């Protein structure tokens, strides 16, 4: 493998939302397989309020930390209410030529009032080559409470800076800047600049690993949260998750198109939209027979900045019918369009990790199953999703499904007692009613109490 490929192996969560402790392990990691050439799918199922969306939120904040962004104040609301500390540990495999590096990134978070700070972060690695594995060692440990220490172990610091006072000063400044802007020290812009400028010698392999994780978070990790689908449901805007390659990092993000009116775009954004639409149309007409999207160009118009612009609108195109604005299509079709470019990227690129909350929202059950089966058989990247639609349990292999539980201290499990002919959907429903798993996977509700509560509420409405 000539290029560097990064794959998520597992993620552990402590005190985030209603997850006191939970661990998500990808299928390859669960069977201790070091491969990066085939798809990995992980569906997360469970009742409402059992920690599924917490996984997606953790990926969202992990991505921000790993690209050096400042932590938002809103993160304080995600720390478990009865605690002021939380942890995230993400494990990765980095594939480079014939070498596989096992990397663990451990983040310790602390809430002070409503602000969350990174109190400590640790990177450790092991090397696999020619069927030989080294011991996993910590190669960078940052502790905000140790003001007099840049980072440990001292051996790594000496390999990077030695007695060079200029490098040591740069590292101290980078630490101060990271603390002031409330971002990661390891992945902060100033620190990475120092690591990259002095990446020769023994420290070079560690600088390479830090860069590999940074670029994975920047260009290869897609996180599509509920807010993405929410604006579609409101029929207000269409956010299209996209990536377009063309330089070292490519272009990646959400291209937001208003649904209520045409939009003014400069030349660069117009070309990006055209590239996104071209990629989407390659697949869209096979998913929704006969449907393609087009860009209606109303002509040039001067932007407020004085540069040339174009007034455009996304249209729905079907053979033999007049084009109509894309907002007139169903929510399910607009949802598919919004995530399709990201799905295409994950289908063809082994480094892409696509995380989607409520993948099934608005998508026809049979189509959902077909998409997942095709992805499982033919794709190369990683797909992690939450869902309530149980169709996936009939289409995917057992290793590709985990379940959230009613136990906040052990939130995620794989189903046990699954035989070769078991239908996972039937087993899941049977386990809800009869138990038999290591944890309770459904906090039982009482239909008589629910009916009584509705009658009581109905009487109060009539009497008001």
- Given a contact cutoff of 8 angstroms between Cβ atoms, the answer to whether 47 and 433 are in contact is no
**Residue ranges of E strands in 281-366:** 291-302, 308-318, 324-325, 353-356
**Res 28: pLDDT:** 93
Digit-coded pLDDT (tens) for 146-163: 989 999 999 999 999 988
- Given a contact cutoff of 8 angstroms between Cβ atoms, the answer to whether 243 and 345 are in contact is yes
Q: Is the dihedral of CA 45, 49, 50, 53 positive or negative?
A: positive
Q: Residue range 42-59: average pLDDT?
A: 93
- Which strand (E) or helix (H) includes residue 22? strand 19-25
Residues 6+ apart with CB under 8 A from 200: none
pLDDT at 340 over 90: yes
DSSP notation for 377-435:
HH--SEEEEE-S-TTHHHHS-GGGEEEE-S-TTS-EEPPPS--TT--HHHHHHHHHHH-
Digit-coded pLDDT (tens) for 91-130: 999 999 889 999 999 999 999 887 899 999 999 999 999 8
For residues 59 and 93, give the distance between their C-alpha atoms in angstroms, rounded to a whole number. 17
More confident: 426 or 265: 265
Q: Is 138 exposed, middle or buried (0-12, 13-18, 19+ CB in 10 A)?
A: middle
For the chain, report the end-to-end CA distance as a whole number of angstroms. 71
| % of the chain residues with pLDDT over 70 | 96
Residue 90 tokens, joined:
């993400």
Q: Of the segments 26-30, 70-74, 103-107, which one has the largest average pLDDT value?
A: 103-107
Q: Residue range 158-176: average pLDDT?
A: 93
For residues 406 and 319, give the distance between their C-alpha atoms in angstroms, rounded to a whole number. 50
Query: What predicted TM-score, i.e. pTM, was given to this entire model?
Result: 0.92
Residue 441's alpha-carbon distances to 403, 415, 428, in angstroms, are 7, 10, 9
Q: Is 111 exposed, middle or buried (0-12, 13-18, 19+ CB in 10 A)?
A: buried
**Res 1: pLDDT:** 39
Residue 421 pLDDT level (bands cut at 50, 70, 90): low
- Given a contact cutoff of 8 angstroms between Cβ atoms, the answer to whether 441 and 414 are in contact is no
More confident: 443 or 79: 79
**Res 249: pLDDT:** 47
Residue 146: other Cβ atoms inside 10 A: 12
């Amino acid at each position: 493998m000539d290029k560097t490929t990064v794959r998520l192996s597992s993620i552990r969560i402590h005190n985030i939302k209603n997850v006191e402790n939970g661990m998500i392990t990808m299928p390859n990691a669960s069977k201790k397989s070091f491969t990066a050439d085939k798809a990995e799918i992980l569906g997360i199922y469970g009742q409402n309020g059992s920690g599924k969306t917490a996984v997606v939120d953790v990926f969202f904040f992990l991505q921000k930390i790993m690209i050096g962004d400042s932590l938002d104040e809103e993160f304080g609301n995600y720390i478990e209410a009865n605690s002021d500390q939380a942890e995230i540990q993400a494990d990765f495999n980095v594939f480079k030529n014939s070498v596989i590096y096992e990397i663990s990134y451990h983040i310790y978070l602390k809430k002070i009032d409503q602000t969350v700070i990174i109190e400590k972060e640790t990177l450790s690695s092991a090397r696999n080559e020619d069927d030989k594995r080294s011991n996993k060692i910590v190669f960078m440990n940052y502790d905000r409470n140790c003001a007099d220490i840049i980072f440990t172990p001292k051996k790594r610091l000496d390999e990077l800076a030695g007695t060079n006072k200029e490098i040591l000063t740069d590292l101290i400044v980078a630490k101060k800047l990271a603390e002031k802007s409330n971002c990661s020290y390891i992945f902060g812009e100033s620190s990475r600049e120092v690591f990259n400028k002095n990446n020769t010698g023994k420290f070079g392999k560690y600088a390479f690993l830090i860069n590999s994780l940074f670029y994975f978070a920047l260009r290869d990790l897609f996180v599509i949260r509920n807010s993405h689908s929410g604006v579609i449901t409101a029929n207000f805007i269409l956010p299209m998750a996209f990536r377009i390659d063309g330089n070292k990092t490519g272009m990646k993000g959400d291209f937001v198109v208003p649904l209520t009116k045409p939009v003014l775009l400069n030349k660069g954004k117009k070309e990006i939209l055209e590239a996104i639409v071209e990629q989407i149309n390659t697949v869209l007409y096979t998913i929704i027979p006969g449907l393609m999207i087009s860009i209606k160009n109303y002509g040039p118009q001067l932007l407020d900045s004085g540069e040339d612009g174009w007034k455009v609108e996304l249209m729905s195109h079907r053979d033999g019918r007049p084009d109509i604005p894309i907002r007139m299509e169903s929510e399910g079709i607009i949802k598919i369009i919004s995530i399709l470019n990201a799905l295409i990227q994950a289908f063809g690129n082994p480094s892409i990790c696509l995380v989607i909350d409520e993948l099934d929202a608005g998508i026809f059950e049979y189509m959902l199953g077909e998409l997942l089966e095709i992805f499982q058989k033919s794709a190369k990247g990683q797909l992690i999703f939450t869902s309530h639609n149980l169709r996936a349990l009939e289409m995917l292999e057992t290793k590709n499904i985990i379940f959230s539980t009613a136990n906040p201290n052990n939130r995620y499990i794989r189903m046990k007692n699954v035989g070769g002919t078991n239908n996972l959907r039937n087993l899941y429903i049977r386990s809800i009613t009869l138990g038999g798993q290591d944890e309770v996977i459904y906090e039982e509700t009482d239909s008589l109490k629910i009916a009584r509560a509705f009658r009581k509420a109905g009487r109060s409405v009539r009497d008001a």
